[in-house]
Copies of this chain bind each other. A is one copy, B any other.
């Protein structure tokens, strides 16, 4: 269900076509909620059917049209309702930790290789988060910038600060993962001669 709220969140910035969404998704909401195109288009149709979005046919080229989705009042109300509803506690389900608990079944060199891959992944992820955070701070992030034009300074301040808050959480999480990976290297060295 969160996908639909990720989509509404994105569309509060500005109306977009499915294509626009699937492109800008990856550089914004996808940092907290990833989804592939094949899930986005059908969901947009369902949301239109449920009255959360209005699809406006916009001409495209000579004869083509494209659908531009606008959040309806009902959609916004639904979004706010979801925002204020309690989260159900997330189940833990992380293969990295499952593996780590049983690293004694694997070859030490294979463990190091795992750790190196995770390290690379998290370093890149962290760098991306920090870049994005910077564009939020200076308000050049395209999706955010689009939304800010509709807000007064007080509202803009809130929107920006909460987004930065979310990214700060993601950044802290990435750093925690990286510190854990560092500890992993040290542990493998300690346990297997070196």
Contact = CB atoms under 8 A, between A and B. Distances in A.
Interface of A: 2, 5-6, 9, 12, 29-34, 79-80, 83-84, 86-87, 89-107, 110, 113-114, 117-118, 121, 155, 157-159, 161-163, 165-170, 172-173, 176-177, 179-180, 183-184, 187, 191
B83 A110 contact: yes
B172 A101 contact: no
B95 A83 contact: no
Given A97-B169, A104-B155, A34 B162 contact: no
Query: Chain A's interface: helix, strand, loop or mixed, by majority?
Result: helix
A181 to B, nearest CB: 9
A76 to B, nearest CB: 8
A90 B96 contact: yes
Nearest to A122: B89
Nearest to A167: B101
Given A97-B166, A162-B104, A34 B173 contact: no
Given A87-B117, A191-B157, A100 B33 contact: no
A18 B75 CA distance: 45
A9 B121 CA distance: 26
A183 B93 CA distance: 25
Contact of A165 (B92, B100, B118, B155): B100
A87 B118 CA distance: 8
B97 A83 contact: no
A101 B2 contact: no
Contact of A92 (B33, B162, B180): B33
Given A83-B110, A87-B99, 9 more contacts: A31-B92, A32-B93, A32-B98, A33-B93, A79-B105, A80-B106, A83-B105, A87-B118, A97-B169
Contacts of A106: 80, 83-84
